[in-house]
Amino acid sequence: MIQVRRDFKFDKSAVLVLLTSEQAKSESVPVKDKALLAELQKAVAAGQFEGNGGELFPAVSGKKLILFVGLGKEKDVNRTALCMAVRRALLSAGLKKVASLEILPHADTAEDAIAIIEAAVIGVYAWKKYVSVKKDDKSVSKKDIFVVASPREEYSAIVKVAENVNFARDLVNENADVVHSLFLEKVVRGIVRGKGNVSLEVLDRKKMLARKFGLLLAVNQGSNKEPRVLIARYRGAGKKEPYTAVVGKGLTFDSGGLNLKPTGHIETMRSDMSGAAAVIAVLKTALELKIKKNIIFACAIAENAIDANAYKPGDVVVGYSGKSVEIGNTDAEGRLVLADVLSYIVDKDKPARIIDIATLTGAVVVALGHDYSGLVSNNDSLAEELLASARATDDRLWRLPNYPELKDSMKSKIADIKNTSNWRGAGGTMTGAEFLRQFVDKTTWAHLDIAGTAFVDNDVRLYYGHGATGVGVRLLTHFFQNN
């Protein structure tokens, strides 16, 4: 449980976590409680604590435990740094067995409170479903956390969004043979069940054949799993209000197909449905927060596996749009499943705007690393709105260009378009996005490439531990709340 309360209680059952910058060495540290200030000054005077970044110092006052947490120089304290510091404190050995604690921010601002909330929910998340619990482990995983700050109405929504970030992470982290298309269909049906303002369209293989979803079906034809397209149409505003569509790539596992992924890359390919997981989590959030927008939530779900029926490099496949596509590489499959769903929604629903989110290219990792997702758009206003939401949520984006000459990079000699670029590996994120752009007609569109940000395969990145990050959930929720 996480609550924000104005009163500083520090009762007998609680541990106090005090966040402070290097102001701890000065008289201006913003601690009003005299007893607590005295303890802080004693620690500083003894040279045990200075407020440096990454510094943790436990102190005992009577029978109460205080954990002083250093944030570093005041000018360097921001939302990300706060989140990282609080995460470090909550995961420290001294707090493992603690069931209840208070966190006192270094300043009473919304930024501080939100960072603490997200650290307490997103930062301490760990996928432990298959880890055996030791009998002598006294750790308390679910804590009562009280953030001392001026209450704001938005904080309860922040908690909900953070919880749904973790909901998306659970979907991605689970085994690929558990989270297949039918599993995700069941999840979405559970989310929308009983809700009067949302309808669900489910396309199975038979319906996709009838609608000529040739690209998505080609990707899935080497798998023994059923493909699915899930489309939830949510009405949070009036009938005359336009719809925005968001489409998530849902490759429940991506072997690369006959262009097999190598060791070192294939092991985390259950994360190739991170776009769909984000879309499902944002649908859940929109219903819970009653977001006042009309939104279409769509997931293109398939598995890129290998058997005798797998699609092959050199094949030409025709999709829903009627365009023929030369298959240059079977590992460029995400753009194929998205192309069918994007063109279907543009044709049937005619949304005012359409956004896709996908673990699309390794090239985005080369370009932007692991802390920024790539953004490509055909509309400056939409791009700036998404960038503003990225800045507001710390779900980071960096815009890459889209320009007319990119169309030439995707030309084929034997089909209307090719799923790989003629640029021999250059500009892969932009050319992958250009392929998608050619299936949205003239609709205002944005593409979010989350291949570098969706999964942490080492120990920690920023305030995320190993595994899925739930990227896109905070970003898209904020976008729909504000645009």
52 three-state secondary structure: coil
| Same domain membership, residue 97 and residue 244 | no
Is it the case that residue 28 has pLDDT exceeding 60? no
Cβ neighbours of residue 298 under 8 Å, at least 6 residues apart? 229, 230, 231, 232, 245, 246, 247, 248, 279, 341, 345
211: domain CATH number is 3.40.630.10
Last residue of a domain, one of 88, 123, 151: 151
| Same domain membership, residue 8 and residue 118 | yes
Q: What is the pLDDT of residues 250-306, one digit of tens each?
A: 999 999 999 999 999 999 999 999 999 999 999 999 999 999 999 999 999 999 999
73: domain CATH number is 3.40.220.10
| Same domain membership, residue 282 and residue 201 | yes
| Same domain membership, residue 350 and residue 283 | yes
Q: What is the pLDDT of residues 400-457, one digit of tens each?
A: 999 999 999 999 999 999 999 999 889 999 999 999 999 999 999 999 999 999 999 9
| Same domain membership, residue 272 and residue 182 | yes
| E strand spans, 62-125 | 64-70, 100-104
| Same domain membership, residue 121 and residue 16 | yes
Last residue of a domain, one of 151, 184, 218: 151
Is it the case that residue 242 has pLDDT exceeding 90? yes
Question: Helix, strand, coil proportions of the chain in percent (round to 5)?
Answer: 35, 25, 40
Last residue of a domain, one of 151, 172, 206: 151
Task: Please report where in the chains the tokens 């603690």 appear, as a residue.
Answer: 98
pLDDT of residue 62: 74
| Same domain membership, residue 195 and residue 137 | no
Please choose, from the candidates 312, 355, 384, 310, the residue with its C-alpha nearest in 3D space to the C-alpha of residue 449: 355
pLDDT of residue 27: 58
Please choose, from the candidates 416, 222, 226, 212, the residue with its C-alpha nearest in 3D space to the C-alpha of residue 311: 222
| Same domain membership, residue 189 and residue 65 | no
CA distance 369 to 9: 43
Is it the case that residue 43 has pLDDT exceeding 90? no
Which tokens hold the place of 28?
């201006």
Which tokens hold the place of 321?
């749009």
Q: What is the pLDDT of residues 183-205, one digit of tens each?
A: 999 999 999 999 999 999 999 99
| Same domain membership, residue 299 and residue 174 | yes
| Same domain membership, residue 283 and residue 138 | no
Predicted TM-score (pTM) of this structure:
0.95
Q: Could you give the number of structural domains in the chain?
A: 2
Q: What is the pLDDT of residues 345-385, one digit of tens each?
A: 999 999 999 999 999 999 999 999 999 999 999 999 999 99
450 three-state secondary structure: coil
389 three-state secondary structure: helix
More reliable by pLDDT, 244 or 54: 244
Range of the domain at 119: 2-151
| Same domain membership, residue 131 and residue 200 | no
pLDDT of residue 13: 63
Cβ neighbours of residue 331 under 8 Å, at least 6 residues apart? 254, 256, 257, 259, 260, 261, 304
| Same domain membership, residue 220 and residue 110 | no
Q: What is the mean pLDDT of residues 314-332?
A: 98
Q: Point out the residues that are catalytic.
A: 261, 335
